[in-house]
Amino acid sequence: MADLDESLLALLRARDPDALRTIADEHGRRIYRAARGMGHSAADAEDLVQDVFLAFLLSLDRFEGRAQVGTWLFGILHRKSLERRRAVVREELSDPIDQLFESQFDTRGHWHLAADAPEHLIHAEQAGGAIAGCLEALPDQQREVFHLRQVEDLPAEAVSKITGLSVTHIGVLLHRARVRLRVCLGEKGWGRR
Amino acid sequence: MMMNCKDVSTLIARGELTQAPLMRRLAMRMHLVFCRHCRAFQRQLDAIARAARAATARLANEPGAEFEATLTRRMREDPPQAK
């Protein structure tokens, strides 16, 4: 993700066609993919991307030179996505998936041998379309954090800036998302021989 | 510092492997050397991430070819709003 230099910022403020095209080319599809990854339909995702880039132009005066354009755009996408859902999603302090995870260990914190042996499920290539349904079933915040951390490969600190959540909270959400996906894929018989 | 499977798999799932203090990271590495279940759990989560990335890659044919041009036009034509 490239930083914006002052000359490009000035061109963007003047809505220079080439500068606008550069930003659209470099970041448009990535932001679109993230919107889809957050669960928006193709049509909604296209609308959302346009909203994001228009908001980006209006926010150029507040753009911090040290910030990366991608992180800035993901932050706008996060807020626009929440607005579109007309609700601030609140993550419950406790999540049933936490108990399910805990139940996989004995009192000494070792895996139950009777539990589904993890190595039965390691073949990603077999996941095919199964994971799409599991991703759709994730709570919104978990899905967004999973996408940003695991698909976009952003560090927890960047996701914290984007979402306004603490790094610790990002870890909890990622943990819940991954355990939930593992359970969901297991229920679909993913990787069973 | 002894770590059990629950400690290790929690750190793995939270993506905090590199952020943990040095001694904790060493203890975790040591645990992973001897625990095939935790190694399998780690491989499994990696596989889930790969599957999710593959699912996202299937979006390669959307949006359409006009996407960037439309986006650029919207940015040019949309009048700046009053702040």
**Residue partners of A98: CB distance under 8 A and separation at least 6:** A176
Residue A180 and residue A146: Cα distance in Å, rounded? 11
At A84 the pLDDT is: 84
Are B42 and B35 in contact by the 8 Å Cβ rule? The answer is no
The pTM of the full predicted model, rounded to 2 decimals, is: 0.82
Q: Which of A183, A165, A182 is nearest to A91 (CA)?
A: A165
Residue A134 and residue A123: Cα distance in Å, rounded? 16
Nearest to B44 among A29, A46, A182 (CB): A182
Put simply, whether A18 touches B (Cβ < 8 Å) is no
Task: Tell me: cis bond preceding B63? Omega within 30 of 0 counts.
Answer: yes
Q: Can you list the domains of chain A with their CATH numbers?
A: 1-93 (1.10.1740.10), 96-193 (1.10.10.10)
Nearest to B6 among A21, A109, A135 (CB): A109
ipTM of the complex: 0.86
Put simply, whether A13 touches B (Cβ < 8 Å) is no
At A193 the pLDDT is: 42
**Tens digit of each residue's pLDDT (9 = 90 or more) over A38-56:** 889 888 999 999 999 999 9
At A1 the pLDDT is: 43
Side chain identity at B39, as an amino acid letter? R
Q: Which residues of B touch A122 (CB under 8 A)?
A: 40, 43-44, 47
At A66 the pLDDT is: 64
Q: At what angle do helices A6-13 and A17-37 cross, to 10 degrees?
A: 90
Do A118 and B56 lie within an 8 Å CB cutoff? no
Put simply, whether B1 touches A (Cβ < 8 Å) is no
Residue stretches of chain A with pLDDT short of 50? 1-2, 114-115, 118, 193
Q: Which residues of B touch A16 (CB under 8 A)?
A: none
**Tens digit of each residue's pLDDT (9 = 90 or more) over B9-63:** 999 999 988 778 899 899 999 999 999 999 989 988 998 999 999 888 877 778 8
pLDDT grade for B78, boundaries at 50, 70 and 90: confident
At A34 the pLDDT is: 93
